[in-house]
A and B are shown apart, each in its own frame.
Chain A
Amino acid sequence: QVQLQQSGAELAKPGSSVKISCKASGYTFTSYDISWIKQTTGQGLEYIGYINTGSGGTYYNEKFKGKATLTVDKSSSTAFMQLSSLTPEDTAVYYCARTGTTLPHYYVMDAWGQGASVTVSS
């Protein structure tokens, strides 16, 4: 079955960086994009961006340009998101999700990781 296994919770200091992983299994990794989504109690769900797992090409929501960097390792079917210059506003649960690449599935997220909690505190 399709599974996305994310790395564990992170506690980070303001100004530092964290890198979250998302290991996919149960399907052909390069047939789908991987999206990243931020969830907070106050702001709900926000779309960060996606990576084309075949080409490594990326799209970032304007709001997250400079904050998030998406990469992929096809050999291990793993996607990564690095968050830099962390502030308390980056405290959230971050999800990776398998994402369709053609209409009507474009930007439709049909399998999600379990989420990775990131807490930014001094």
Chain B
Amino acid sequence: DIQMTQSPASLSASLGETVTIECLASEDIYSNLAWYQQKPGKSPQLLIYYANSLNDGVPSRFSGSGSGTQYSLKINSLQSEDVSIYFCQQNYDSPPTFGSGTKLEIK
């Protein structure tokens, strides 16, 4: 199985700041990388697919980038509703696998 290593495990930032979350795959996944947001007590929601394609309805302050084995999720102008756990997931090979999550809090 492809291993997904996500960092940092937790992150605290101020409102209006920009934050970046990283995801490293154990092998090349050719941009087949999705990001999900899980708000407290809720189910995960798709933010980005194919490394940099924004899902419908997702605010433009979210963006994704990367290629090969290294990917990142950037959140500009952090807002209070962004408090969540963020997961990456590779959809290149079976079974799909997830990163361990990054918990984002507001300072």
Binding site for B on A (CB under 8 A): 44-47, 49, 59, 61-63, 95, 103-115
The CA-CA distance from A44 to B44 in the complex, in Å, is 12
Q: Which residue of B lies closest to A115 (CB)?
A: B43
B contacts with A, residue count (CB < 8 A): 24
Asked if B95 contacts A104 (CB within 8 A), the reply is no
Report the tally of A-B residue pairs with Cβ distances under 8 A: 58
The CA-CA distance from A29 to B101 in the complex, in Å, is 30
Q: B13-49, CB under 8 A of A: which get 1 and which 0?
A: 0000000000000000001101010000011111001
Q: B69-107, CB under 8 A of A: which get 1 and which 0?
A: 000000000000000000101010011111111000000
The smallest C-beta distance from A65 to any residue of chain B, in angstroms, reads 11
Asked if B46 contacts A110 (CB within 8 A), the reply is yes
Known contacts A44-B101, A108-B34; is A61 also within 8 Å of B95 by CB?
yes
Asked if B45 contacts A45 (CB within 8 A), the reply is no
Binding site for A on B (CB under 8 A): 31-32, 34, 36, 42-46, 49-50, 53, 55, 87, 89, 91, 94-101
Asked if A108 contacts B46 (CB within 8 A), the reply is yes
Q: Which residue of A lies closest to B6 (CB)?
A: A44
The CA-CA distance from A111 to B36 in the complex, in Å, is 11
Q: Which residue of A lies closest to B44 (CB)?
A: A112
Asked if B100 contacts A44 (CB within 8 A), the reply is yes
On chain A, the residues within 8 Å of B97 by CB distance are 47
The CA-CA distance from A106 to B95 in the complex, in Å, is 12
The CA-CA distance from A46 to B97 in the complex, in Å, is 7
The CA-CA distance from A53 to B98 in the complex, in Å, is 24
Q: List 5 A-B contacts (CB under 8 A).
A: A46-B98, A103-B32, A105-B49, A107-B89, A115-B43
Q: Which residue of B lies closest to A61 (CB)?
A: B95
Specify which of A44, A49, A62, A103 lies most central, judged by the most chain B CB atoms within 10 Å of its CB: A44
On chain A, the residues within 8 Å of B46 by CB distance are 108-111
On chain B, the residues within 8 Å of A104 by CB distance are 31-32, 49-50, 53, 91
The CA-CA distance from A95 to B80 in the complex, in Å, is 26
On chain B, the residues within 8 Å of A112 by CB distance are 43-45
